[in-house]
Amino acid sequence: MAIEFECPNCAAVMRVPDAYAGKQGRCPQCETRLLVPNIPRPDASNAPPAEVVPTHTTVPQATPVPTPAATAVPTERNPVPRTSRRIRSRRRPARALVIGIPVIGFLLLLGIIAVSLTGKLPELSGNLAARMLTEKSLPRIMIPWSDTGLSQADRQTLQTILAENAETLTSELVTCRLIGTDDGIAVQWTASATAAWCVVDAVSDSEKPLSLWLKKERPRLNAARRTELLDALAGYCRDKLQQAAGADINIDATRTRDSVALNAATDALGFAVAAKAAKRVIRPAVENERGQLYFCVPDETAAFVLSGRGSSSGLLFPGSYDVIIAPATETPPLPETGTEPELGNDSDMLNPSSAQSVPDARPEDTLKMQQ
């Protein structure tokens, strides 16, 4: 047998086993706390009436009515009241609003900040001035021995090798030499007979859009430059020592020039940009403390475009400038030899199509790189 009764709050019909008579539970429809009535069985009319527990008291050690045992049974006479459905429907939107409103507000704030910052970003375009120089060679840039990661004995060996027989890397426009010294490996750049050096005033004005962009991006670019430099430098030193010991190893001239020599004399801007002139891509050889960039270009060059250099993650610089070159003038001062151990980026003349190494080269032999 089962006891059937209605919820006094929502009029839902519930049916529970006789064992729960006189105990308290909750309506599964509206969760109102209620008392299961004690209804005598039809065949127990002569039995003494069961004791009725007052509604305001709780039967000691009574257990709540399990939800599966008490189910609301909608009928035509007593359908599930609409009020309970409305109560639930009102609760759900309330929870969504509590969570959704802060999230929406946060996203709107981010959007406002993004629009504000985007609107203030400088336009990285326009004209830059450059001057052609008469000098053929630039002052040396020093890579300290500490950056090579070599032991004292290997440093001494490599210093002797490069002092007696400098590593020489050549292209159509420029010659780069790596020379062993007491302080480190000196990088020497010399323009060819058909090329000349020009210096670009890139960020001489601290309020220029280019200066503002560089101030923000310098840490990231310098971290990438130095990582590339140290990795290539370690590989070059290892190969050079093994080659000197008699191993059949060819020095990767292109990588040595591009990732060691060309990353040994510039700062962040020199690492990120390149000149595009006469179908050539030319990276700067030196970037001095005033933000001036030195390029080795064909001597008849009157202008070129300064834009971003490509990498695996995209362009390193998002702008584009037209550079106009004025006639030759006096060379602006460059960093003194060895004063900037924070390695930079030496002139990156054209990307060669081939590169060869001469293991037993004499001082005048070179690693030639064709343009």
Q: What is the mean pLDDT of residues 127-138?
A: 94
Q: Which domain-ending residue is among 98, 120, 142?
A: 120
Cα 210 from Cα 298, distance rounded (Å): 26
Both 187 and 301 in one domain: the answer is yes
Q: Which two tokens stand for residue 156?
A: 């001494």
| Amino acid sitting at position 110 | L
Strands 33-35 and 174-180: unpaired
Both 339 and 357 in one domain: the answer is yes
CA 339 to chain centre: 31
Both 194 and 280 in one domain: the answer is yes
Both 229 and 361 in one domain: the answer is yes
User: What confidence tens digit (pLDDT) does each residue in 228-238 have?
Assistant: 999 999 999 99
Range of the domain at 185: 126-370
Residue 161 confidence (pLDDT) above 60: yes
Both 56 and 191 in one domain: the answer is no
Both 173 and 263 in one domain: the answer is yes
Both 71 and 132 in one domain: the answer is no
pLDDT at 68 (0 to 100): 47
Q: Which of 342 and 10 is assigned the larger pLDDT? A: 10
Residue 59 confidence (pLDDT) above 60: no
* Residues of the chain above pLDDT 70, percent: 68
User: What confidence tens digit (pLDDT) does each residue in 85-118 have?
Assistant: 555 545 555 566 667 677 787 777 776 665 455 4
Q: Which domain-ending residue is among 93, 120, 147?
A: 120
Both 165 and 52 in one domain: the answer is no
Q: Which residue has the tokens 């595009």?
A: 276
Residue 221 confidence (pLDDT) above 90: yes
Both 89 and 162 in one domain: the answer is no
Asked if 51 contacts 93 with a C-beta cutoff of 8 angstroms, the reply is no
Number of domains in the chain: 3
Mean residue pLDDT across the chain:
78
Q: What is the mean pLDDT of residues 351-358?
A: 35
Q: Which residue has the tokens 């591009």?
A: 258
Residue 318 confidence (pLDDT) above 80: yes
pLDDT at 368 (0 to 100): 45
pLDDT at 36 (0 to 100): 84
Cα 347 from Cα 295, distance rounded (Å): 6
Q: Which residue has the tokens 């059949």?
A: 248
pLDDT at 29 (0 to 100): 84
pLDDT at 107 (0 to 100): 77
Cα 83 from Cα 170, distance rounded (Å): 88
Both 34 and 115 in one domain: the answer is no
User: What confidence tens digit (pLDDT) does each residue in 283-297 have?
Assistant: 999 999 888 999 999
Residue 61 confidence (pLDDT) above 80: no
Asked if 37 contacts 26 with a C-beta cutoff of 8 angstroms, the reply is no
Q: Where are the beta strands (DSSP E) in 141-194?
A: 141-144, 167-170, 174-180, 184-191
Cα 234 from Cα 37, distance rounded (Å): 89
Residue 367 confidence (pLDDT) above 60: no
